[in-house]
Amino acid sequence: MHFIRLFDSDYGKNNSPITEDAMAGHLPWEWSRLTPFFFLHAGCLGVIWTGASPFAVLFALGFYVFRMFAITGFYHRYFSHRTFKTSRMMQFIFAIWGLLAVQRGPLWWAANHRHHHQHSDKPTDLHSPLQRGFWWAHIGWLTNSFSMPTRYERIGDYAKFPELVWLNRFDWFVPLLLFLGMYALGDTLAHVAPQLGTTGWQMVVWGFFISTVLLYHGTSTINSLSHVFGSQRFETGDTSRNNWLLAIITLGEGWHNNHHRYQAAAQQGFYWWEIDMTYYVLRAMAAVGLIWELKPVPASIYAEAANGKLAMAKPTSTPVPTGSAA
Ligand SMILES: [Zn+2]
Ligand SMILES: [Zn+2]
């Protein structure tokens, strides 16, 4: 069952309905499910044999940024929170772009993320460091049966597009192409630009393994560290924090307390000094017409911030998309 799900993530999806009661109970680490992570981390050791070249290292870093943008701009701000609109074709491209990050499919990712916002730091939260500690929030939650299937009932608004369901179901397909593409790139460069000093396997190690592992841990700081370190502008009733360093690492996601207060906005840095690279790129994409209707932060939220925490003893929460909206 575990094994088949690696290749068809919807296999047996109706066999074990998940209840919130069960999730609030003891959630064990299921070590066998760490196999893909072990594979990704072990692959980094290939550097012992392939070595490095300036091209491979710079590519790995640039590719980290390119894919982090897809996670934050598309998986998070588009698929999870619907903070802007786009065409069906661009939506399809966003899904493939996100799949290059090797963090499973957009529907799986967004459905679990919506759950996080509805259950933040409660016993039913999938990855609360408050409830289950740092390592669970960082990686352990991914090893658990509860987090494996796509909760289609939470993401019905996008599950009506068959192309997205297919990409989500066979979430290994794009990563496989990425692996092969890295080899092809490095091997081609070795022939046409030997002065770069790279090879097929060196690009696999740097472009696929090392860049992806860094991207995984960078993304996961939002589940683990940004619910632990930083300041709270808003009293959101959970442990979400604002942290400038995490905002740099994640292209803007570190303004996590802002985001927990008002999830419907396309921006997470609420002021000019809160650097939010994802938002700047989204603005540029909107300027050339690729996306539109970026949702702003309402004046009432700014007023709340200006008034300090006293005014927010009981904040009204922003609605989390439930999946039933059209
Ligand atoms: Zn959070
Ligand atoms: Zn969110």
Distance 258 CA to ligand 1 centre (A): 10
Nearest residue to 236 via CA among 320, 151, 120: 120
Distance 157 CA to ligand 1 centre (A): 22
Q: Rounded CA gap, 257 and 19, in Å?
A: 28
pLDDT digits (tens, 9 = 90+) for 153-202: 999 999 999 999 999 999 999 999 999 999 999 999 999 999 999 999 99
Q: Is 291 helix (H, G, I), strand (E, B) or coil?
A: strand
Q: Inform me whether the pLDDT recorded for 253 exceeds 70.
A: yes
pLDDT band for position 1 (50/70/90)? low
Q: Which ligand gives the minimal distance to the CA of 256?
A: 1
Interaxial angle between packed helices 35-44 and 211-220, expressed in degrees from 0 to 180 and rounded to the nearest 10: 130
Average pLDDT value for residue range 127-142: 87
> What does the DSSP assignment read for 235-265?
--SS---B-HHHHHHTTTTTBHHHHHH-TTS
How are the residues of the chain apportioned to helix, strand and coil, as percentages rounded to the nearest 5? 60, 0, 40
Q: Rounded CA gap, 165 and 108, in Å?
A: 10
Q: Which ligand gives the minimal distance to the CA of 76?
A: 2
Distance 97 CA to ligand 2 centre (A): 19
* Rounded alpha-carbon distances, angstroms, from residue 83 to 32, 168, 207, 264, 279: 36, 21, 30, 5, 11
Residue 85 DSSP symbol: E
Distance 154 CA to ligand 2 centre (A): 14
Distance 316 CA to ligand 1 centre (A): 17
pLDDT digits (tens, 9 = 90+) for 294-322: 999 999 999 999 887 544 444 455 666 76
